[in-house]
Amino acid sequence: MGRMEQRRQEARKKRKMKRWIFIPLLVIVLPLTLFGTYLGYKVVTTASDMQEDLARGEKSEKRDEAVDISKDHFSVLFLGVDTDDPNENSRADALILATFNREDSSIKLLSIPRDSLVDIPGRQNRDKINHAHAFGGVDLTIDTVENMLDIPVDFYTKMNFHGFVDIIDALGGVEVDVPFDFETHGTEGSANMVYFEEGRQHLDGEEALGYVRMRKQDPRGDLGRGERQQEVMEAVIRRAGSISSVARYDDVLDEIGNNMSTNLSLGNILSLHPYAQSLDSIETVNLSGNDLTQNGVYYYQVSEDSLQEARERLKVHLDMIEEPHTYSAQEANGYE
């Protein structure tokens, strides 16, 4: 075998490793085949420890029957919460919905601004979408997202932000492109400030948390924060795919087990393999709108047109509706 061919094979192996890492789940399936019995056992036990079913059961009310990841299109809601207590229903500081199309193994990602003014089922007045988790945990949050987007939310993954910090540190940090200079507080509040300078920067866990949470200093508000959250997710993909230390995978699995819950089973997670090819080309769906202040409280008012467009794109991706036909100028004027 020539040296050039050997390098090509090595490059292909590195790409394959990267694609096996499905983040935001951060469940590392690759150790099952690369690192033998010990880490394989840890992956199984970690998946078991973090599995937590929904009160509604395994099926969304918007489904006739429960989905099978190995053959159906499906959706996953990713939640970031600011608490270490699994019994405490704090506000959700990050809400990201992903839809998966089995036919072409494609992924669409929608970041929902946490201050979006929405109807929360069972509540008299409209409120911020992140309050749904404080009112009724993951179940009410899923009901609210389903009501907002008119699509089923089949699965969820929830992580607390202290766990996010520990997992980033276990990976050895991430690289991001900071868009402008700013400072923000870390996990311990204003006594622990985190500073950022425009340009390429290596972030540890504490810095990464500050980077994805800051909104008020961003001229684009929640939209800018959503893009930074997606950037960090992509950076973790790159970092997780580049590490080779068994000990580091071991540390990451420990942090996942301690800080994450999901209704995805290990079998579900293993069935995500066909989507590995799509991790480098995730298509984002955006919600635009305007700032709104009512009774001294800030909200984000999502544009109805933007919301309707997002609903249609996600429904098409889940094969719930056909893609709307775009008429040409000739068709619009009655010509064939």
Residue at token pair 């540190």: 169
What number of CA atoms fall less than 13 Å from residue 303's CA on the CB side?
10
pTM score > 0.85 for this model? Answer: no
Quick one: pLDDT at residue 325? 52
Q: What's the rounded Cα separation, in Å, for the pair 279 and 300?
A: 29
Q: Is the pLDDT of residue 4 over 70?
A: no
Q: What is the DSSP string of 50-70?
A: HB---TT-SS-TT-SS---TT
Q: Is the pLDDT of residue 24 over 60?
A: no
Q: Which two tokens stand for residue 120?
A: 């929360």
- Alpha-carbon distances of 17 from 122, 138, 237, 252, rounded to whole Å: 45, 32, 10, 16
Q: pLDDT higher for 242 or 210?
A: 210
Q: Do 250 and 42 touch, CB atoms closer than 8 A?
A: yes
Give the pLDDT band (50/70/90) at residue 203: very high
Q: pLDDT higher for 247 or 331?
A: 247
Quick one: pLDDT at residue 25? 43
pLDDT of 137-146, one tens digit each?
999 999 999 9
Q: What's the rounded Cα separation, in Å, for the pair 179 and 110?
A: 21
Q: pLDDT higher for 255 or 148?
A: 148
Average pLDDT for the chain: 78
| Mean predicted confidence (pLDDT) in 196-205 | 93
Quick one: pLDDT at residue 286? 86
| Mean predicted confidence (pLDDT) in 35-42 | 54
Q: Do 211 and 196 touch, CB atoms closer than 8 A?
A: yes
Q: Is the pLDDT of residue 14 over 90?
A: no
Q: Do 187 and 161 touch, CB atoms closer than 8 A?
A: yes
Sign of CA dihedral 18, 179, 284, 302: positive
Q: Where are the alpha helices (DSSP H) in 160-245?
A: 161-170, 205-213, 221-242
Quick one: pLDDT at residue 242? 64
Q: Do 194 and 176 touch, CB atoms closer than 8 A?
A: no
Q: What is the DSSP letter of 116?
A: B
Q: Is the pLDDT of residue 305 over 50?
A: yes
Which parts of 82-161 are beta strand (E)?
A: 92-101, 106-112, 117-118, 127-128, 155-160
Neighbouring CB atoms inside 10 A of 13's CB total: 10
Quick one: pLDDT at residue 40? 60
Q: What is the DSSP letter of 35?
A: S
Quick one: pLDDT at residue 193? 83
| Mean predicted confidence (pLDDT) in 147-173 | 87
pLDDT of 103-124, one tens digit each?
998 889 898 998 999 999 999 9
pLDDT of 51-82, one tens digit each?
888 999 989 999 999 999 999 999 999 888 87
Quick one: pLDDT at residue 180? 93
Cα–Cα nearest to 129, from 257, 8, 226: 226
Q: What's the rounded Cα separation, in Å, for the pair 60 and 279?
A: 26
Quick one: pLDDT at residue 179? 93
What pairing do the DSSP bridges indicate for beta strands 174-178 and 199-203?
antiparallel
Quick one: pLDDT at residue 92? 82
| Mean predicted confidence (pLDDT) in 295-305 | 94
> What string of H, E and C letters represents the secondary structure of 114-135?
CCEEECCCCCCCCEECCHHHHH
Give the pLDDT band (50/70/90) at residue 20: very low
Q: What's the rounded Cα separation, in Å, for the pair 306 and 287?
A: 6
For 171, the 3-state DSSP assignment is coil
Quick one: pLDDT at residue 331? 46
